[in-house]
Structure 1
Amino acid sequence: MTEPAADAPSVTDLDRLREVEADCTGCELYKAAGPTVGGEGPRSAWLMLVGEQPGDQEDKAGKPFVGPAGRVLDQALDEAGIARDEVFVTNAVKHFRFEERGKRRIHKQPTVRQVRACRPWLDAELRLVGPPVVGVLGAVAAKSLLGQDFRITDHRGELLEQDGRTVVPTVHPSSILRSDPKERQELLAAFVADLKVIAGARP
Structure 2
Amino acid sequence: MTVHSGRVPEFSRINSGDFAARGRPPQGAPARPDYRRSAGVLGAQEREPAVTREGRRPGARTVTTSSKKAAGQDYDAGPFVPQRGGLPTLRRAAAGCEGCPLFRDATQTVFGAGASSARIVIVGEQPGDQEDRRGEPFVGPAGRLLREALGEAGIEERSAYFTNAVKHFKFEIAARGKRRIHKAPSLREMSACRPWLAAELRKVDPELVMALGATAGKAVLGTSFKVSQQRGLLLPMPAWDALGHSDASGADGIPVREAAAHGCVVATIHPSAVLRADDREAAYRGLLSDLRVAAEVLRSGAERAAAD
Q: Same fold (TM over 0.5)?
A: yes
Counterpart Cα distance in 1 of 2:165 and 2:120: 15
The Cα shift of 1:9 comes to 5.6
- CA offset digits 1:24-82 (Å, max 9, x no partner): 00111111001100100011100000000000000000000000000110111011011
Aligned to 1:39: 112
Aligned to 1:88: 161
Aligned to 1:166: 264
Higher strand share: 1
Rg larger in 1 or in 2?
2
Contact conserved, 2:82 with 2:90, CA < 8 A, in 1?
no
The Cα shift of 1:11 comes to 3.2
- CA offset digits 1:84-120 (Å, max 9, x no partner): 1210010000000000012100000001111011000
SS at match of 1:49: strand
Aligned to 2:131: 58
The Cα shift of 1:190 comes to 1.2
Query: Which sits farther off after the overlay, 27-36 or 160-169?
Result: 160-169
Aligned to 2:297: 201
SS at match of 1:10: coil
Counterpart Cα distance in 2 of 1:153 and 1:198: 17
* RMSD across aligned positions (CA): 1.2
Counterpart Cα distance in 2 of 1:127 and 1:43: 10
Aligned to 1:134: 209
Query: Which sits farther off after the overlay, 147-156 or 89-98?
Result: 147-156
Structure 1 stretches of 4+ with a deviation exceeding 3 A read none
Contact conserved, 1:9 with 1:120, CA < 8 A, in 2?
no
Counterpart Cα distance in 2 of 1:9 and 1:112: 24
Select 1:73's aligned residue among 139, 146, 153: 146
Contact conserved, 2:123 with 2:163, CA < 8 A, in 1?
yes
1:113 aligns with 2:222: no
Query: Which sits farther off after the overlay, 8-17 or 23-32?
Result: 8-17
Contact conserved, 1:5 with 1:24, CA < 8 A, in 2?
no
Aligned to 1:146: 221
Contact conserved, 2:172 with 2:183, CA < 8 A, in 1?
yes
1:4 aligns with 2:102: no
Greater RCO (Cα-Cα under 8 Å, separation 6 or more) = 1
Counterpart Cα distance in 1 of 2:233 and 2:82: 30
One-letter code of the match for 1:105?
Answer: R
One-letter code of the match for 1:201?
Answer: V
- Specify every segment of 5 or more residues in structure 2 that has no aligned partner in the other structure, as ranges: 1-70, 239-261, 302-308
Higher helix share: 1
One-letter code of the match for 2:92?
Answer: E
Number of aligned residues:
201
Select 1:29's aligned residue among 102, 106, 125: 102
SS at match of 2:218: helix
1:184 aligns with 2:280: yes
One-letter code of the match for 1:133?
Answer: L
The Cα shift of 1:165 comes to 2.4
Contact conserved, 1:12 with 1:128, CA < 8 A, in 2?
no
Contact conserved, 2:123 with 2:211, CA < 8 A, in 1?
yes
TM-score w.r.t. the length of structure 1 is 0.96
- Specify every segment of 5 or more residues in structure 1 that has no aligned partner in the other structure, as ranges: none
One-letter code of the match for 1:166?
Answer: C
